[in-house]
């Protein structure tokens, strides 16, 4: 009963459900992590399950670690061996255990997105494919999309020559990865799914083991992840899914919000519990979020509330320009700091990264420290990638992506011609680049042989404890010496030293026992950790600096004060989304997420004119502001279409001053190319007059009236 203390009634109901399928609709700030963790602890404490019978899936390594830490504090059990992690982390663990059945080498390596891009570029070059017609990054997206749909090349439908060629390249990419013993992120899940699907004894083993499957952030699962969960659940296991369809904002990554309804229908879910009490935000903020999201159809439905009181009204500011908007935000921030608010508790959220320029300039000029969330993470920095590439070659010399990164870094005189000869030799042999080194003659071949000897020496040191191995590699490879001689290499050297610390910390937390004479199992595990973790931390976390980030990046975070900037039609909601099926619904969910990041005070700002991508944009205020009840808002400037006192004023019209034109805002017009549209904004006069027209499927267009042949419809 101690485990249940402090839970509200719906939380307690969710935690103590019988071992059946359940869907928990957990609103923002409603304590879902506590419910998930307590559910596991309660089932163990009441003797209904053992720690080995759980499989818990989170969407970040940070969330998985938090669950394990909380469980260890709740129960006197060793949580280290529990299967709690991300989809990719759990699939990596399962594939390591059954690598032969999965058709993988024991020491397979994981390609992160940058490594995958490098591998695709090498593939295109080796096949003499025009990378302008088939851009490497787009090919990566195509391959990953097929894998996330569960499709191998033979199953992909190709209706034209261009798609057929992409399918051929997908097939060649698969062959290259198999030869090199590497897998990308999408492959981890697909390979694991295929293994369980075709291997019935193995599937039955895990179905019998994992009697309780818990899933966090269920609204963010894609179709393949949902199929993987169904495969493991079988006919008798209990799926406990926690999510919020109102916070599904990753459709561009393949997230399928429809999985929640499919789960409810396909599994005959009898238990649907709504967690609606919010422990984060004041009432006015929650009422604004509720008012916005209720405009989305086909929701499972819930209404957030709090016992914390209404709090302050939501402040709305209309700026004349993005520079004026930034000036206002700086002035408000300075006032907040003077009141004692910590900088790290203030967040500036925006829809597009391009918006940060004006904000950063204003903050820098005012001397206010800030951090842009989403800068290069630790394991993604160039010097760390170089170091990891050497470690990957110790584990697997046939890893061509790692080989290509460091064969001539630091520079050792191995030129492009030598590498072309090596690639030709590898192709003729059907081998890796490393294995083909003896086939290259001359001075270039001698330099390649010296590199092979270096890798051999590093491999001999693989029995050292992991931190010592990393330190030894940094010296012997020449990486440290290279950055010592670089003009601004001190920060990179500090990062390399931090890699040794990271290895030591990993060894302390995750170290595994090695059989004598074997390649360090710690090294293999550390490389997988580096690829999967990729530095999942908030840039500037723990530092007293203002936080700047996109709304997508803000998911899961919370702050005392939040500014949502650039609330204009065409920007938020984004003009691209307005042209997509259900695009507006996703934008509204994004706005809901942005609003619910605020605990105490919320600002909504928009500008009449904004510099973006080298052009001045003019726009109307976002429809999301209009969806919030006026009683919740405090307008710091005159509301568009209203006086400063809130009385409705006539809709603006420029026809009166220029009667020869005869158009007004709100009027339907016809254009020869774009069809029917509605005038939403206007500026200028005489020959400089222009209007912004919403042409529906053709999008928003600014048209010069002296040129465009607009006709009243």
Give CA separation, 424 vs 327, 397, 399, 431, 446, in Å: 59, 18, 17, 10, 17
Identify the three-state secondary structure at position 240: strand
| φ, ψ dihedrals at 432, nearest 5° | -75, 165
Which residue among 38, 247, 421, 547 is the active-site one?
247
> Would you tell me how many other CB atoms lie within 10 Å of the CB of residue 182?
25
CB-based contact 691:678 (threshold 8 Å): no
The tokens for 582 are 């259900």
DSSP for 425-492, please give it: HHHHHTS-TGGGGGG--HHHHHHHHHHHHHHHHHHHGGGS-HHHHHHHHHHHTSHHHHHHTSTT-HHH
- Length of the chain equals 713
Closest C-alpha among 331, 378, 401 to residue 115: 401
Q: Distance (Å, rounded) from C-alpha 278 to C-alpha 301?
A: 15
Active site annotation includes 597: yes
Active site annotation includes 536: no
The continuous run of DSSP H or E covering 95 comes out as helix 87-97
The continuous run of DSSP H or E covering 680 comes out as strand 675-683
The tokens for 341 are 């608010």
Which residue among 11, 32, 555, 596 is the active-site one?
32
Q: Distance (Å, rounded) from C-alpha 61 to C-alpha 530?
A: 11
Give CA separation, 557 vs 337, 355, 375, 458, 595, in Å: 20, 20, 17, 42, 11
- Cis peptide bond prior to 410, omega within 30° of 0: yes
Identify the three-state secondary structure at position 267: coil
Active site annotation includes 33: yes
Q: Are strands 668-671 and 711-712 parallel, antiparallel or unpaired?
A: antiparallel
Active site annotation includes 217: yes
Q: Distance (Å, rounded) from C-alpha 389 to C-alpha 530?
A: 11
SS (H, E, C) 129-150: CCCCCCCHHHHHHHHHHHHHCC
Q: Distance (Å, rounded) from C-alpha 441 to C-alpha 475?
A: 28
Q: Distance (Å, rounded) from C-alpha 250 to C-alpha 247?
A: 9
For the chain, give the longest Cα–Cα distance: 91
Which residue among 597, 599, 610, 617 is the active-site one?
597
DSSP for 550-567, please give it: EHHHHTT--EEEEEE---
Which residue among 112, 217, 220, 585 is the active-site one?
217
Identify the three-state secondary structure at position 364: helix
CB-based contact 666:677 (threshold 8 Å): no
Check residue 396 and report its DSSP letter: -
CB-based contact 329:294 (threshold 8 Å): no
Give CA separation, 585 vs 246, 254, 289, 295, 564, in Å: 9, 16, 14, 8, 18
Which residue among 112, 115, 180, 216 is the active-site one?
216
Closest C-alpha among 663, 660, 670, 652 to residue 690: 663
Q: Distance (Å, rounded) from C-alpha 425 to C-alpha 114?
A: 26
DSSP for 180-218, please give it: HTEEEHHHHHHHHHHHHHH-HHHHHHHHHH--EEEESSG
Which residue among 12, 16, 33, 600 is the active-site one?
33
Q: Are strands 271-275 and 212-215 parallel, antiparallel or unpaired?
A: unpaired
How many C-alpha atoms does 325 have within 13 Å on its Cβ side? 31
Q: How far apart are the first and last CA of the chain?
A: 70
Give me the sign of the Cα torsion angle 92, 96, 101, 102: positive
Q: Which residues are catalytic?
A: 32-33, 216-217, 247, 597
């Amino acid at each position: 009963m101690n485990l249940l203390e402090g839970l509200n009634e719906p939380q307690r109901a969710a935690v103590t459900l019988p071992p059946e399928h359940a869907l928990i609709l957990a609103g923002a700030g409603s304590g879902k992590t506590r419910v998930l963790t307590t559910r596991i602890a309660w089932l163990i404490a009441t003797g209904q399950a053992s720690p080995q019978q759980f499989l818990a899936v989170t969407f970040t390594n940070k969330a998985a670690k938090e669950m394990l830490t909380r469980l260890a504090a709740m129960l006197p059990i060793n949580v280290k061996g529990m299967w709690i992690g991300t989809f990719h982390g759990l699939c990596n663990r399962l594939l390591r255990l059954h690598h032969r059945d999965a058709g993988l080498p024991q020491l397979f390596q994981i390609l992160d997105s940058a490594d995958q891009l490098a591998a695709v570029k090498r593939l295109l070059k080796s096949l003499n494919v025009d990378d302008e017609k088939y851009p490497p990054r787009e090919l990566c997206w195509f391959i990953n999309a097929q894998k996330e749909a569960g499709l191998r090349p033979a199953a992909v439908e190709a209706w034209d020559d261009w798609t057929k060629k992409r399918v051929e390249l997908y097939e060649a990419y698969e062959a290259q990865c198999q030869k090199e013993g590497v897998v990308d992120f999408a492959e981890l899940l697909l390979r694991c799914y295929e293994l369980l699907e075709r291997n019935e004894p193995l599937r039955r083993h895990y179905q019998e083991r994992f009697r309780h499957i818990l899933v966090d952030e269920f609204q963010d699962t894609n179709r393949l992840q949902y199929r993987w969960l169904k495969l493991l659940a079988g006919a008798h296991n209990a799926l406990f899914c926690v999510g919020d369809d109102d916070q599904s904002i990753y459709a561009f990554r393949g997230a399928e919000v429809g999985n929640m309804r499919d789960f409810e229908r396909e599994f005959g879910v009898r238990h649907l519990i709504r967690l609606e009490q919010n422990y984060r935000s004041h009432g006015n903020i929650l009422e604004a979020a509720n008012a916005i999201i209720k405009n989305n159809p086909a929701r499972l439905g819930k209404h957030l509330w709090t016992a914390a009181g209404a709090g302050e009204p939501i402040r709305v500011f209309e700026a004349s320009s993005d520079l004026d908007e930034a000036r206002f935000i700086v002035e408000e921030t300075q006032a907040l700091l003077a009141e004692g608010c910590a900088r790290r508790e203030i967040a500036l959220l925006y829809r597009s990264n391009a918006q940060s320029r004006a904000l950063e300039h204003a903050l820098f000029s005012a001397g206010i420290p800030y951090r842009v969330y989403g800068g290069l993470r630790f394991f993604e920095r160039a010097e760390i990638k170089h170091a990891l590439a050497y470690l990957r070659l110790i584990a697997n010399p046939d890893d061509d992506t790692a080989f290509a990164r460091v064969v001539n870094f630091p520079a050792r005189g191995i030129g492009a011609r030598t590498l072309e000869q090596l690639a030709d030799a590898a192709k003729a042999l059907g081998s890796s680049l490393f294995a083909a080194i003896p086939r290259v003659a001359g001075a270039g071949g001698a330099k390649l042989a010296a590199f092979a000897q270096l890798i051999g020496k590093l491999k001999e040191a693989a029995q050292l404890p992991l931190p010592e191995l990393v330190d030894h590699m940094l010296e012997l490879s020449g990486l440290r010496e290279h950055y010592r001689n670089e003009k601004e290499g001190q920060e990179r050297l500090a990062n390399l030293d931090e890699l040794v610390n990271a290895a030591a910390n990993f060894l302390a937390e995750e170290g595994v026992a090695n059989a004598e004479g074997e390649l360090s199992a710690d090294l293999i595990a550390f490389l997988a950790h580096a690829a999967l973790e990729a530095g999942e931390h908030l840039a500037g976390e723990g530092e007293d600096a203002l936080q700047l980030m996109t709304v997508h990046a803000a998911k899961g975070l919370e702050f005392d004060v939040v500014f949502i900037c650039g609330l204009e039609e065409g920007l938020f909601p984004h003009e691209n989304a307005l042209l997509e099926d259900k695009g507006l619904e996703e934008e509204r969910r994004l706005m809901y997420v942005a609003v619910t990041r605020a605990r105490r005070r919320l600002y909504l700002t928009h500008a009449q004119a904004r510099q973006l991508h080298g052009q001045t944009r003019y726009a109307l205020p976002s429809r999301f502001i209009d969806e919030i009840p006026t009683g919740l808002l405090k307008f710091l400037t005159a509301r568009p279409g209203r006086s400063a006192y809130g009385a409705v004023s006539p809709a603006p019209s420029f026809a009166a001053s220029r009667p020869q034109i005869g158009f007004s805002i709100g009027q339907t017009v016809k254009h020869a190319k774009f069809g029917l549209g509605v005038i939403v904004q206007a500026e200028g006069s005489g020959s400089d007059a222009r209007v912004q027209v919403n042409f529906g499927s053709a999008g928003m267009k600014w048209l010069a009236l002296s040129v465009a042949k607009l006709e009243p419809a």
